[in-house]
Amino acid sequence: MKHLYAILLVSFISFFNCAGPKQDDLSGLLLLLGAGGPSNSFHCGQTVANPVPYSNYSAVPAVLASSSDFITAAGGNNCGSASLVDNDDGTVTDNQNHFLWTLCTAFNASPIQLYDYISSNCNAGSVVTADRNITQSQAVAFCESLTFAGHSDWILPDAIQLDTLYTTSNPFSLTPFGTKESLKRLSVVWTSTQTADGIVHTYTSSTDRFVAAAKTANNVASLICIAKL
């Protein structure tokens, strides 16, 4: 009877894990139940389905008035403080949250490309139009089709996942990213999170932590991608 229950449970979870979107991670629940303890298969991030129920804005463009209220509306911050290691291959590992990040942002030269992290140091020069010329739908498609550093499971991070890179003293420039510029240089990248009013991108200044851009083809930013370890 116990074996039959286990088989039914595995079948139930597997069905929903396959049917759900790419960012769903019910496999973590399966391993937790099977092993009876914690596992690296759990990954933090947004737990509330899009659109996130948040509509409190303080400026135009739509700066989210309260970062903490927005994170609560997205399901709460279930991430730990990032523990980042530069792998010197164009990726950064977060050992705390079991994520792999692309080190460099992308630019749109038809097609979209990641900056070369070695020869150009993630392009430490001045920001040009191509650096912020990617729509959110293009960002999603780029990450999901990316094969890089031995991974083909890249996705566009949600707002809570991207917020793990935020520090109040020097936003989005923790050592591996700041040394080789990337987010520190560009300062605005897409997330997969949406509110009723728009798609959220993050970090436009030291104070504007989250911004919800209107859902039109004209809204552009850059991207970094994330994979789960």
Taking the domains of the chain in order of start, what are their residue ranges?
1-42, 43-228
pLDDT at res. 124 = 72
0.85 cut: is pTM over it? no
**Which tokens sit at 160?**
């809570």
CA distance 146 to 137: 14
CA distance 133 to 87: 27
pLDDT at res. 33 = 33
CA distance 25 to 73: 20
Give the model confidence (pLDDT) of 100-150 as tens digits. Answer: 999 888 999 999 999 887 766 787 778 889 998 999 999 999 999 999 999
3-state secondary structure of 25: coil
Give the model confidence (pLDDT) of 170-195 as tens digits. Answer: 544 445 566 676 777 777 889 999 99
- Burial 78-89, CB ≥16 within 10 A → b, else e: ebeebebebeee
